[in-house]
Amino acid sequence: MLGLPDHVRACLFDLDGVLTQTAKVHAAAWKEMFDGYLRERAAREGTPFVPFDAVVDYDEYVDGRPREDGVRTFLAARGVRLPEGSPDDPPQAETVNGLGTRKNDLVLRRIREEGVEPYEGSVRFVTAARDAGLRRAVVSSSANCRDVLAAAGIEDMFEERIDGVVTHERDLRGKPAPDTYLEAARVLGVEPGAAAVFEDALAGVEAGRAGAFGVVVGVDRVGQAEQLRAHGADVVVRDLAELLESS
């Protein structure tokens, strides 16, 4: 059914890069934030400025992870440790939370200015999944998930949403831990083995593999098919419409 194993009864979709064309917006916002901070730090310490790579660094350290985890993971790769701070930290604070707030402000500005477009092939696939009676949930690390779904006009296509807000409220670990996907399966009333995970992020496919889901579909938007397979994808497609064509 729909290019998926017969035992699949639910579909669990990542948001950015799978359903909506916002991954590039996030990558640009991460780069703007990190480059600004790294440039300030290099000038202060008299060290060379090495910019954030919006492809390599984004894929390896921040894509698919909760915002603060992305800040922490990338800076650790550069040998930088900052105090955690608190969620109330302003964007100018030199803390993990402060930089996370700075990035969030930038991405919200870009979304307001540029809008949000869903992937046509993904809309077709979700519509087919709904018509086939499969359960459907969005699983995203973004605290802005609901606003993005609404802006893209696809909020009503999903029964459940496990996003950054829910992750915080229920004290779930973010991707690459499987907690958010396991929670989505739980609220839909299906076992993990009967659910398909759809992810474009390396951390996300790791989460799918760690949760022992029925199938993990990697969505390759940026030419990283081999990396997606290496991190746990059972199947890799460039667009979800390919699954419809293969069914």
Q: Active site includes 88? A: no
Q: One of 16, 57, 69, 200 is an active-site residue; which one? A: 16
Could you give the residue ranges of the DSSP H alpha helices within 132-231? Answer: 145-152, 164-169, 179-188, 202-210, 225-231
Per DSSP, 60 falls in state: I
The Cα 99–Cα 76 span in angstroms is: 14
Asked if the peptide bond before residue 48 counts as cis, ω within 30 degrees of 0, the response is no
Per DSSP, 24 falls in state: H
Of 230, 165, 164, 216, which is closest to residue 18 (Cα–Cα)? 216
Question: Rounded to 5 degrees, what angle do the CA atoms 127, 222, 150 make?
Answer: 40
Per DSSP, 16 falls in state: B
Residues 6+ apart with CB under 8 A from 104: 67, 143, 144
Q: Active site includes 171? A: no
Counting every residue written for the chain, the total comes to 247
Q: One of 14, 63, 89, 163 is an active-site residue; which one? A: 14
The Cα 115–Cα 113 span in angstroms is: 6
Q: Which residues are catalytic?
A: 14, 16
